[in-house]
Amino acid sequence: MTITTTSSELPTDIAQDAALIQEQYPRISEQILQLWGSAELNEYLDSILFDERGSRHGFPLTIVSALMRIHENHITLVPSKITGDYWDTVLKEVEK
């Protein structure tokens, strides 16, 4: 059984960011709501914020900023699954 978060259940400090994502990228908004509260959301946001394929055009700055604020908020609630040394994980992301 999948429990889905509604936008009204998100923290109020990211409500505007969530509304902006919903308005311009409804599929991404849906994923955020479905994954909210799980480490998988951190992984999902990482995957859309950091282009691993090299073929994406990227988001407008307002969207990137909103996604980053959502990510920063969520990661304080649910830490990412990190194996090994934290700085090794950070360096791998930087090197990509």
The string of DSSP letters for the chain reads ------GGGS-GGGHHHHHHHHHH-HHHHHHHHHHTTSHHHHHHHHHHHS-SSS------HHHHHHHHHHHHHHHHHS-----S-HHHHHHHHHH-
Q: What's this model's pTM, rounded to 2 decimal places?
A: 0.72
Tens-place pLDDT, residues 26-56: 999 999 999 999 999 999 999 999 866 666 6
> Is residue 58 very low, low, confident or very high in pLDDT (cuts 50, 70, 90)?
confident
Identify the pLDDT of residue 1: 40
